[in-house]
């Protein structure tokens, strides 16, 4: 006998609020397996971070971990001791030649010193034009050499010893140098970039002529002796120190050390103070003052030339003539020390 009522009588069939829809699985069949990608795929995609180490191998790298970057630091430029010693010897010979040439100058004998200065000016033109390589290099070199000769003649023949004729010669040489570069169409494109190099070369050669003017004023020969001796000692000691202990390095690309710059300027000042105690018209204090200015100017100019050469090499420019590149620093130091000596002699002596 079957009961008249079902055992489900009195029970709400939708109590669990799980009314099956038409898309649900058919009765009598087990539900299909759950797909992990469908349920928590978004969570897995959002989850980032380091994973656990797998057994027997390294862990996987996450997407946020940057790849290993190559090391772009280059080793510092090595300091070549034979080269530093050679430059030091060249600076010493240059100072000795200019000091001894100043001693031969007199009221009626200025031409020997003028010839010595002109020889140094030609070395300056050779070194700086080959190192900086302005457009129309040969034209700039010839105009600079002519400007040096005109400045020397003006320094010897002028009635009043002054820097005005030298200024006129420098202005004329600069204008002629720029016009010489504008003549050729190939060089006309780079003439804007070469204004600074042309100006430096012309002003440098004219600056040496100020030594001739300085030799014509009272105490001028003694001032040349004090200032150029301090300059030569400063450059010599700075380069010798770089050959022995180039520390601390000022820049990895420049083979120079701060110790050489500081020690060179100090010993140059000390040498000028010692000379001032023996020369007429000087005291150790006044000689130390003018020696400090000229020695510091020379070593800083020499250092700046090293930075400029390193900048040209880093920019991809081909290296220039070896001897010209390494003569550039001492010649530039003496070129700026000459007008500094004139200014110190006129203002403080």
More confident residue, 160 or 116: 116
Mean pLDDT, residues 216-236: 95
User: What's the rounded Cα separation, in Å, for the pair 18 and 334?
Assistant: 100
Above 70 in pLDDT, residue 128?
Answer: yes
Q: Which pLDDT value is given to residue 90?
A: 97
Mean pLDDT, residues 95-120: 91
Above 50 in pLDDT, residue 26?
Answer: no
Q: How far is CA 170 from each of CA 117, 176, 201, 202, 252, rounded to the nearest angstrom?
A: 16, 10, 10, 6, 36
Q: Give the pLDDT confidence of 232-254 residue by residue, as tens digits.
A: 999 999 999 999 989 899 899 99
Which burial class, exposed, middle or buried, applies to 89 when counting CB atoms under 10 A from its CB (0-12, 13-18, 19+)? middle
Above 90 in pLDDT, residue 135?
Answer: no
Q: Which pLDDT value is given to residue 100?
A: 95
**Sole residue written with tokens 């390294």:** 58
Q: Which pLDDT value is given to residue 281?
A: 85
Sketch the domain layout of the chain as residue ranges. 81-348
Q: Give the pLDDT confidence of 278-296 residue by residue, as tens digits.
A: 998 899 999 999 999 999 9
User: What's the rounded Cα separation, in Å, for the pair 16 and 10?
Assistant: 15
Q: Give the pLDDT confidence of 169-203 residue by residue, as tens digits.
A: 999 999 998 888 787 666 566 666 678 889 999 99
More confident residue, 61 or 326: 326
Q: Which pLDDT value is given to residue 185?
A: 66
Write down the mean pLDDT value for the chain: 82
Pair 144, 202: CB distance under 8 Å: yes
Confidence of residue 275 (pLDDT cuts 50, 70, 90): very high
Residue (of 161, 192, 177) closest to 345 by Cα position = 161
Residues with Cβ within 8 Å of residue 337, at least 6 apart in sequence:
227, 228, 231, 294, 295, 297, 298, 301
Q: Give the pLDDT confidence of 301-332 residue by residue, as tens digits.
A: 999 999 998 888 888 887 777 888 899 999 99
């Amino acid at each position: 006998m079957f009961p008249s009522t079902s055992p489900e009588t009195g029970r709400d069939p939708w109590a669990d609020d799980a009314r099956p829809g038409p898309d649900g699985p058919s009765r009598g069949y087990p539900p299909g397996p759950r797909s992990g990608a469908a349920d928590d795929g978004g969570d897995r995609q959002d989850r980032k971070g380091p994973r656990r180490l797998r057994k027997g191998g390294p862990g996987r790298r996450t997407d946020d971990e940057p790849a290993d970057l190559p090391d772009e630091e280059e080793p510092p430029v090595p300091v070549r001791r034979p080269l530093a010693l050679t430059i030091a010897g060249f600076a010493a010979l240059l100072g000795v030649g200019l000091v001894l040439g100043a001693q031969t100058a007199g009221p009626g004998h200025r031409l020997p010193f003028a010839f010595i200065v002109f020889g140094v000016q030609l070395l300056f033109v050779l070194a700086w034009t080959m190192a900086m390589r302005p457009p129309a290099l040969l034209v700039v070199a010839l105009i600079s050499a002519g400007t040096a000769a005109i400045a020397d003649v003006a320094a010897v023949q002028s009635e009043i010893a002054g820097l005005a004729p030298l200024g006129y010669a420098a202005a004329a040489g600069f204008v002629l140098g720029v016009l010489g570069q504008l003549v050729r169409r190939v060089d006309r494109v780079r003439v804007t970039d070469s204004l600074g190099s042309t100006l430096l070369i012309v002003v440098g050669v004219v600056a040496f002529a100020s030594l001739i003017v300085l030799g014509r004023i009272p105490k001028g020969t003694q001032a040349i002796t004090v200032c150029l001796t301090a300059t030569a000692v400063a450059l010599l000691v700075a380069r010798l120190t770089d050959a022995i202990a180039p520390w601390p390095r000022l820049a990895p690309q420049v083979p120079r050390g701060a110790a050489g710059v500081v020690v060179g300027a100090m010993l140059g000042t000390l040498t000028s103070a010692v000379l001032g105690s023996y020369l007429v018209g000087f005291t150790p204090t006044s000689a130390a003052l003018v020696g400090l200015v000229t020695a510091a100017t020379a070593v800083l100019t020499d250092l700046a030339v090293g930075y400029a050469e390193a900048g040209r090499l880093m920019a991809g420019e081909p290296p220039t003539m070896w001897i010209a590149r390494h003569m550039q620093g001492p010649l530039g130091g003496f070129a700026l020390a000459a007008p500094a000596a004139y200014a110190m002699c006129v203002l403080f002596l």
